[in-house]
Structure 1
């Protein structure tokens, strides 16, 4: 090691500079960054190669916002003193701030080699090991912390949790028992001690030592050591049931009396009685009837009874349930009972009940029924329920007719307009839906929910800038843009809706930008747990902490992440198949109106991004602490780097990889995994995805396309697949589809078996395209979806339209004309000129006129001069 002045080693400083270095550490801890920087410079003036001081100066500079300069100093300091725990600790802090947890753990481990009993280092290592789910190493680290400081209560609990996470519950129990022996004079109602005891009971329960767990719970409750009385009742009832005790029934009854609106308590009671809801519906129904009598105001037992009853008994229970909700004016009644619609008999019963109430309460009824309230609100809510009912059944004209009656009765109820908007959206009139939702918003301009819904519907109509303006009414006024504020607030609905809107408009770069933002939100969720690894143990909130860890482990099974991952992966697959898409010039065949609209949108987007850049310019002051965490820097404002990434399939796989374990039962995910894997030449992944998807639903239309694609892919390979992967892939494929069956025959048989399904016909057409069929044959097959006997909906029709555009079919306009005639309420298949006029009509300000509230929600297309005005026609 080099010397200073012939006597001073590289690491060791004279007393004066050593004192300054200690002062530097203290100044850093208290965030006195300017003084710390001056102190570091004092030391480096005499000893410019002192590694620890260089690293500390670099750390201070990072906190002051001079990140690049600071990191360079840290790296230099490490080179000067590789055997110092301080330099490795500092480097670990820098890496942790960059979210490089694996590298940070390596740096901390290196630091521990030179200072094995440093408490701060050990605590940081434990947090990183928990973040990375390295539980075996976590046990060792927590054991070391406990050995060094056995008087710290949190070290005992932390070790027990480490054993618990590693799956060694027996050792966790031992640690807790030993910890409790050290306790003396614990006061009553100590919340931290209460949480620890509940955790001890949890460990015993998971060990299936139910008698011991119940004894500990009862003693702790009697001694007033456990504070949470509800938790005591819940755990006690659960333990008594597992012990098959006679007291269990009473324990569950006490819970139901405590909260008669909790579904879990009723299910626990029924389970304790040995009743399976599916196998013993009659007995369970009798018990629920008793609870309904005992708690007449409770809704849960009556609702559970509806799930179990059938036939005349269901009718007798459903009628008072629906009538009571309509009398009270409960808007969520349909949402409450919708899950029962899977039974056609119950669906028909609800329809008959609601129609009967509607008829009996109608103002036109000469003699009102004595059994039904004559309150006008009952009539109104019956209309609302029936409109939702018929909208759900795709009887859109009837639903809109009922909504017209309701609006004539009460034109100031926002729920009626939101229901109209939802119905028009389902019918394919996205512009009319947007206008209806805006009518709802205008009834209460201070309602954030209505504002959000109106913006959402505008995006679905392609009005992205107008939607952003609406959202700006409730976002920060000093934000660069409403979108920037919503992204900062991690608004998943906004990111997904705008991403989908850009994708539908062909702006794949901006769509990828939003989907990538969704991915960052989930990355932030994952990173946010880091601080809780230490905080939760300090505060003894162990039970909820373990629940959070479990939630984090399944984080990316969230529907929003799945939707974003699927949409982005499909774009990447399309880019791989057609690299021209990566240039961003995807509108070569667009009409003049479409090109003009895209140009205008691009200009507006650029203005928005310029404003965002200007507002987000970094401050020049270095006085404030910028922190170690690296702020997100957007170096791709228009998403073109994402679009033109050199390896799109790798980006797609990065999104889909978490879903291979978290969404194994989602057939769309499995198909997306196949699409990416087969193009990456990962044949085993592709085979597993196909086999799993077939086990879930062998007749799924998109799966049919992939099965044929896999067989065709193998047949056109220039060389056989190498062993052992090739034979396994071919064997798996042979189990799915026998090699004796020709692909053309297989496709024809699939089409014959599903001749009335539009999705199946579309899948057969896609399959024909894969097999190299002529364009005309594919087009003719697609046009058979227009036959009367085929079940075609707007969503499938839009997918078919996109497919024809993708294969550059000259019959797109012909298809649109036919679809426009077939879906009379839809505006999705209008010409670009008609859509431009619809856009103007949606944005007109005269949205509160009485004619709008009795119109059909869509601008009449027969007379283009009248676009922008409502006609008052009834549906």
Structure 2
């Protein structure tokens, strides 16, 4: 039975609610205690106290109190509502929805509960439930525009476009007067309705509607773009051409408008003369523009291309535009254009092209600037992967630096050239020189930090980043980088630690990025109500659709792959949980147990030393900043595990990796590396059906992939050496499906040698075949090492492939000295083959 309150205590209870709404949490807590002193079992007050406690970072205690409140008053909608709010704070949305629904049964007319339920249903993409909730809210308050718009969005996202349009039309019909032209919410609603009509495929009606309401819309550019698009798709070419002309007069640098105008004028792609004439008109109309000069270079050929490229290059080089090469490097997919550009710029620096006579420079100062820009362009040209010649690149960048020694871009390019040489040490040094030319520029500072991380100088990079962070906060510079969600840094830092086999810190950084993606997923929650209040409906729908594919982002793919590799390494070498095993040039002999124990003891000692240093730092920070707060005044918690020891000391690495792998396979199914790693994980977990699914997906992407070849052999070998037979049904499916990839009649040794013979000119394929041979015939190790060493004689081998060979030798527990020495002779400028 609920405990009743007298009038004075009821007034105090209402004060508690007001305190919570006004974020006066301490006052609210004090007032709640006053009520509970006289009425210790009043469920509603206990619930409100729990809610206040949860907002004071006491979520565990709040849950305990909320459960007690429910025991005292099971039929209180307030208790159930608060219970749902606590689950929402814990991100347990399924349980929160259950609690809200129970609260609604007790209080069906409660708008706050209904609203909170609707927001969670949208967060969980329960569109049918969201439609029901929004319908109920609309029936309760039909005069409130947001309810109509929200219901339309619910139908739209569930795929019922007709019903979505009907809801918006119905509301427009209920309007008594015509809203003001300045009413942005009405304007957005009109354009949203129009986009729904267009999405349904009825372009004629969408155009009619837009012509009817366009003058009322504040987003003039959107109206113009939609009108032009509809006219073009409807085949009304003359009107479409006028519409795109109007857009170009508004912004002559948008290439999409040129594409639309060309389609509207029905100019064939191969009619270069007419196309060129069209662009020349816009050059004449807007002589300072760039797009109309640059785009023709994509389709012009032969002498026409050379003439226009000459004019374009000289114009940009005279101005000293640093982004010139980035603007034209897409032309390099055509070898003839690549050669023409190279010849032109080489001519400028040699003076043979007549560029000086054409007015490239009138004074020595201008001439020097033109020459420096030309040398800089050539340095980028010879550094580019399609036209790479690193000695020439270095020669040209040195000439550019000699003319303009304080140009940051020139020094940065020199660092990139050293990076492509494979010399991370020199690359980091040169990027640091570039940074010192402009120490206040964030871009060059972050570039320098990135290059230091690539050189595994984690502490140095963090120190550099601290120049742009608020280091007085809890956690120092690293804490601030987490708070700012600096994904690129955390990713590079994690990958650097992974290369050093410091798995604790690597997992710490990579998990931090995973948590940032989770935060971005959760951050949309506030926009479910905010966007409706502000009327930004089209942007909101775009955001919801973007959130649905959030983990397609390249950074997520990258950190997921790195994390899976880290966990696989941890699973295969559990000793790495204590830190990297110290090793010389040849590593620790895996067969020498005494040597292994000695190395492990040393690693544990180093781990304890680092833990002590971190503990001392934590104590110092506590003493120096006992009241450290973030910008919003919230007290920040100290990270209890800064070295990632909890993560790395997991007993089930293959279980912990699944949250990364699941998202990766769902959001990036066309990534063959992800599929192969999925096979590795599932095979170790004895999930043969799931491993086979990954193999089939990888085979569909690229059946000749070298990693896939190795995975196929590993899978067959795993099937042939099972400790216990698979269940009958599973075995039947696995054998039938795998037969399509690798027939059972095929002998693995023959299959592998045939693969090697057919792909002997590809280093990556040879490496995969040798790895498979070593797996199938361990006694062939000496021959495999010899054949792997011979791959360095291939004219096509890259530094990355040579580094991969070192990793393969690591897995074989082989001596890497001979390979490293030969590789160092092949790439004398590189630093990656230094084993010391």
Note whether the superposition's TM-score is higher than 0.5. yes
| SS of residue in 1 equivalent to 2:467 | coil
Return the match for 1:159 from 151, 169, 175. 151
Aligned to 1:534: 529
1:289–1:305 CA contact under 8 A, matched in 2: no
> Aligned equivalents of 2:535 and 2:460: distance in 1?
49
Deviation at 1:212, TM superposition (A): 2.4
Q: Is 2:165 the counterpart of 1:173?
A: yes
> Aligned equivalents of 2:58 and 2:744: distance in 1?
65
User: Which 10-residue stretch deviates more, 159-168 or 341-350?
Assistant: 341-350
Return the match for 1:220 from 207, 210, 213. 213
| SS of residue in 1 equivalent to 2:295 | helix
Aligned to 2:801: 796
Return the match for 1:785 from 765, 788, 791. 791
Deviation at 1:782, TM superposition (A): 1.3
| SS of residue in 2 equivalent to 1:529 | helix
> Aligned equivalents of 2:120 and 2:248: distance in 1?
43
2:494–2:505 CA contact under 8 A, matched in 1: yes
Alpha-carbon distance change, 492 to 617 in structure 1, aligned in 2, over 3 angstroms: farther
Cα deviations by residue, 1:249-292 (Å, 9 ceiling, x for unpaired): 21112112211111221222334456685x88777566445544
User: Which 10-residue stretch deviates more, 257-266 or 516-525?
Assistant: 257-266
Q: Is 2:355 the counterpart of 1:352?
A: no
Alpha-carbon distance change, 257 to 429 in structure 1, aligned in 2, over 3 angstroms: same
Aligned to 2:466: 472
> Aligned equivalents of 1:625 and 1:433: distance in 2?
37
2:3–2:39 CA contact under 8 A, matched in 1: no
Return the match for 1:674 from 660, 673, 679. 679
1:427–1:826 CA contact under 8 A, matched in 2: yes
Higher relative contact order (CA 8 A, sep 6+): 1
Deviation at 1:62, TM superposition (A): 2.6
Deviation at 1:517, TM superposition (A): 0.7
| SS of residue in 2 equivalent to 1:83 | coil
| SS of residue in 1 equivalent to 2:468 | coil
Q: Is 2:195 the counterpart of 1:202?
A: yes
User: Which 10-residue stretch deviates more, 266-275 or 605-614?
Assistant: 605-614
> Aligned equivalents of 2:630 and 2:107: distance in 1?
32
Deviation at 1:415, TM superposition (A): 0.9
Alpha-carbon distance change, 276 to 463 in structure 1, aligned in 2, over 3 angstroms: farther
User: Which 10-residue stretch deviates more, 401-410 or 59-68?
Assistant: 59-68
Aligned to 1:858: none
Q: Is 2:440 the counterpart of 1:446?
A: yes
TM-score (norm 2): 0.91
> Aligned equivalents of 1:276 and 1:696: distance in 2?
34
1:758–1:792 CA contact under 8 A, matched in 2: yes
Deviation at 1:413, TM superposition (A): 0.8
> Aligned equivalents of 1:624 and 1:507: distance in 2?
30
> Aligned equivalents of 1:641 and 1:566: distance in 2?
21
Q: Is 2:691 the counterpart of 1:712?
A: no
Aligned to 2:591: none
Deviation at 1:373, TM superposition (A): 4.1
> Aligned equivalents of 1:381 and 1:506: distance in 2?
42
Q: Compute the RMSD of aligned alpha carbons.
A: 3.0
Cα deviations by residue, 1:512-560 (Å, 9 ceiling, x for unpaired): 1111011011011111111000000011100001111111111111111
> Aligned equivalents of 2:507 and 2:267: distance in 1?
50
2:502–2:580 CA contact under 8 A, matched in 1: no
User: Which 10-residue stretch deviates more, 53-62 or 576-585?
Assistant: 576-585
| SS of residue in 1 equivalent to 2:829 | coil
> Aligned equivalents of 1:723 and 1:753: distance in 2?
37
Aligned to 2:593: none
2:579–2:607 CA contact under 8 A, matched in 1: no
Cα deviations by residue, 1:818-861 (Å, 9 ceiling, x for unpaired): 111111111222252xxxxxxxxxxxxxxxxxxxxxxxxxxxxx
Alpha-carbon distance change, 346 to 23 in structure 1, aligned in 2, over 3 angstroms: same
1:160–1:175 CA contact under 8 A, matched in 2: yes
> Aligned equivalents of 1:623 and 1:708: distance in 2?
56
Alpha-carbon distance change, 731 to 581 in structure 1, aligned in 2, over 3 angstroms: farther
1:65–1:626 CA contact under 8 A, matched in 2: no
Alpha-carbon distance change, 285 to 139 in structure 1, aligned in 2, over 3 angstroms: farther
1:361–1:372 CA contact under 8 A, matched in 2: no
Deviation at 1:432, TM superposition (A): 0.5
> Aligned equivalents of 1:229 and 1:697: distance in 2?
47
| SS of residue in 2 equivalent to 1:147 | helix
Aligned to 2:451: 457
Return the match for 1:187 from 180, 193, 196. 180
Aligned to 1:17: 9
| SS of residue in 2 equivalent to 1:71 | helix
Aligned to 2:697: 692
Alpha-carbon distance change, 280 to 129 in structure 1, aligned in 2, over 3 angstroms: farther
2:185–2:536 CA contact under 8 A, matched in 1: yes
Aligned to 1:849: none
User: Which 10-residue stretch deviates more, 775-784 or 729-738?
Assistant: 729-738
Alpha-carbon distance change, 133 to 271 in structure 1, aligned in 2, over 3 angstroms: farther
Alpha-carbon distance change, 695 to 621 in structure 1, aligned in 2, over 3 angstroms: closer
1:432-831 pair list within 5 angstroms: 432-479=426-473, 480-584=475-579, 586-587=581-582, 607=613, 610-611=616-617, 615=621, 634-774=639-779, 775-787=781-793, 789-809=794-814, 811-831=815-835
Aligned to 2:63: 71
Aligned to 1:106: 98
**Bigger proportion of residues as helix:** 2
Alpha-carbon distance change, 42 to 15 in structure 1, aligned in 2, over 3 angstroms: same
Return the match for 1:317 from 308, 311, 317. 308
> Aligned equivalents of 2:409 and 2:655: distance in 1?
45
User: Which 10-residue stretch deviates more, 724-733 or 656-665?
Assistant: 724-733
User: What are the ranges of 5 or more consecutive residues in structure 1 without an aligned counterpart?
Assistant: 2-9, 833-875
Deviation at 1:209, TM superposition (A): 2.2
> Aligned equivalents of 1:149 and 1:831: distance in 2?
73
Deviation at 1:637, TM superposition (A): 2.0
User: Which 10-residue stretch deviates more, 165-174 or 96-105?
Assistant: 96-105
1:757–1:790 CA contact under 8 A, matched in 2: no
Alpha-carbon distance change, 501 to 66 in structure 1, aligned in 2, over 3 angstroms: same
Deviation at 1:30, TM superposition (A): 1.8
1:65–1:622 CA contact under 8 A, matched in 2: no
> Aligned equivalents of 1:615 and 1:150: distance in 2?
56
Aligned to 2:595: none
> Aligned equivalents of 1:659 and 1:155: distance in 2?
36
Deviation at 1:464, TM superposition (A): 1.3
Alpha-carbon distance change, 357 to 685 in structure 1, aligned in 2, over 3 angstroms: farther
